[in-house]
């Protein structure tokens, strides 16, 4: 799996359960449920991604790139989820899109949006967990690709 695939896999594994809960229940899920569910689904996806790999040498770090996906696509996912509740894209799609684009360029907005969304605990948990998993299980995998000698 390449870095782009891991990036999107991390974002989908972490944020999709929350979006589905918003879409199915049509109200905000409990903070405890979100704080437990989102890190667990990301952890399951991480284990699957690591087990699927055939060539473990010269691979991108699944933990780090999945975490980057969570952070960089967080404002988009939260906006999609809030659209089911009458916010996000359903209220003012143009300004929401502008905010999402800004949030994608500056991932700290995912932290701010998660504070209002109730998923801040989950975001902090995976921000600690994923680098720890990288150190424990993927120390030889790259975060920044090495330059090839010419």
To which residue do tokens 């209002």 refer? 116
- Give the domain ranges of the chain: 3-52+59-137
**For position 97, what pLDDT does the model report?**
86
**For position 46, what pLDDT does the model report?**
96
CA distances from 77 to 40, 74, 104, 142 (A): 17, 5, 11, 27
**For position 56, what pLDDT does the model report?**
65
0.75 surpassed by pTM:
yes
Distance between CA 41 and CA 31 in Å, rounded? 16
Per-block mean pLDDT, blocks of 10 residues, the chain (150 long): 93 96 89 95 95 78 95 92 86 84 85 92 97 92 73
**For position 149, what pLDDT does the model report?**
58
The two three-digit tokens of residue 87, written as one number = 């916010």
Distance between CA 122 and CA 78 in Å, rounded? 13
**For position 1, what pLDDT does the model report?**
81
**For position 148, what pLDDT does the model report?**
66
Residues facing 60 on adjacent strands: 142
Closest CA to 100 of 67, 74, 69: 74
Closest CA to 59 of 2, 139, 135, 134: 2
């Amino acid at each position: 799996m390449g870095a782009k695939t891991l990036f999107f896999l991390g974002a989908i594994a972490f944020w999709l359960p929350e979006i589905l809960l918003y879409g199915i229940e049509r109200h905000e899920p409990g903070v405890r449920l979100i704080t437990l569910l989102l890190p667990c689904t990301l952890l399951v996806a991480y284990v699957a991604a690591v087990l699927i790999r055939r060539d473990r040498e010269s691979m991108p770090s699944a933990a780090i790139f999945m975490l980057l996906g969570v952070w960089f696509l967080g404002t988009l996912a939260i906006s999609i989820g809030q659209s089911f509740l009458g916010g996000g894209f359903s209220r003012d799609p143009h300004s929401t899109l502008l905010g999402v684009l800004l949030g994608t360029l500056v991932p700290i907005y995912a932290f701010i949006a998660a504070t209002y969304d109730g998923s801040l605990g989950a975001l902090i948990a995976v921000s600690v967990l994923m680098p720890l998993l990288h150190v424990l299980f993927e120390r030889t995998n790259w975060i920044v690709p090495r330059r090839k000698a010419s």
